[in-house]
Amino acid sequence: MKAFLILEDGTVFTGTSIGSTREVISEIVFNTSMTGYLEVLTDPSYAGQAVVMTYPLIGNYGICYEDMESGRPWPDGYIVRELSRMPSNFRSEDTIQNFLKKFNIPGIAGVDTRALTKILREKGTMNGMITTNENYSLDEIIPKLKAYTTGKVVEKVTCKEKYVIPGEGPKVALLDLGAKRNIARSLNERGCEVTVYPADTPAQEIIASKPDGIMLSNGPGDPKECTGVIREIKKLYDTEIPIFAICLGHQLMALATGADTHKMKYGHRGGNHPVKDLTTGRVYISSQNHGYVVDMDTLDPKVATPAFVNVNDGTNEGLAYTGKNIFTVQFHPEASPGPRDSGVLFDRFMKMMEVKKNA
């Protein structure tokens, strides 16, 4: 069946429908990862977005449900150049086609994803529609595309109630803003008992549990939409509890302490982004997924200083908070998918909790 991807600038790509045939409007973003498509599909940070995979062949090793980063896929749509019809992998349990149908995710294959990515790079991220309706009307569709916003998607992806992952070591409170499973797993593998809290949990409840450390997770959408969460994070900042924040958590901590954020032209999404540690000079190849960034011109050096920078474009990739046991990063040290170069940052967090406990 034919399918069409219609961008808000009027560009139309024609391909073949994969997955669900329902019509969807979403923000169109691209990911440059060569592998890890299942982890991309199940990353809650993609809620409210449709993902273009720039690597030309997707699905060749099938679907292994054990590798999912959450209980379901979150993108509104999926756009690929070529979809493998016969996966080859001893761990494979399913095909992408069946996976998309199972979770009612519409997609389109046969699209020139290189041309599409160049449009998004040159004109910036834009909204689009995936449809199988051959009688579409651009005059009707384009106003709808321009009006679309992702909205308050953190409420959609966070856990509904708190739960505990047992461990014998430090007690970590993980605020779930759309957390990937490997964040909790990375802490748990280091011995931590991890209590996962919904995004709307009052700060006082977390503080009252007397955690050794607090983790703020990744998540989707515009950080400025999370007004209630920002207020509670400021209360966490005012304690002496060690805090480590990733991606959306990094942005929310910056907003809570007086800095600003802005939307990037097309964001960073993929497993090949170099970031430099400004303390050691070491460069990590990192996994990233974000469309917003902390505005360094609004950062008060008495509150925080830059800790990491993106080697490609110079944007901020992390902050160290002055006089606080708090550091935050824009990239994903838990990877999944992507390189594990920066996984040592979890060890840094462990050390912070140990020093605080022995103080």
- List, by residue number, the catalytic residues: 247, 332, 334
Q: Is 271 annotated as a binding residue?
A: no
Unique residue bearing structure tokens 């979150």: 74
289 appears as a binding residue in the annotation: yes
Q: Is 19 annotated as a binding residue?
A: no
Q: List CB contacts of 358: < 8 A, sequence separation 6 or more.
A: none
Q: State yes or no: 288 annotated in a binding site.
A: no
Task: Give the DSSP H or E segment for 298.
Answer: none
Tracing tokens 């505990």 back to the chain, one arrives at: 164
User: Residue 67 is inside which H or E element, if any?
Assistant: none
45 marked as part of a ligand binding site:
yes
Establish whether 59 is an annotated binding residue: no
- The C-alpha atoms of residue 167 and residue 165 are separated, in whole angstroms, by 7
Cβ pair 169, 189 in contact under 8 A: no
Unique residue bearing structure tokens 């160290």: 320
Give the whole-angstrom CA distance, residue 188 versus residue 136. Answer: 50
**What tokens were used for 297?**
């011109």
Residue with tokens 């996962």: 196
Closest CA to 30 of 270, 212, 244: 270
Question: Does the annotation list 291 as a binding residue?
Answer: yes
Cα–Cα dist 199/232, whole Å: 10
Beta strands 106-109 and 77-79, pairing class: parallel
Annotated binding site: 45, 219, 221, 248, 251, 289, 291-292
Annotated binding site for L-glutamine: 45, 219, 221, 248, 251, 289, 291-292
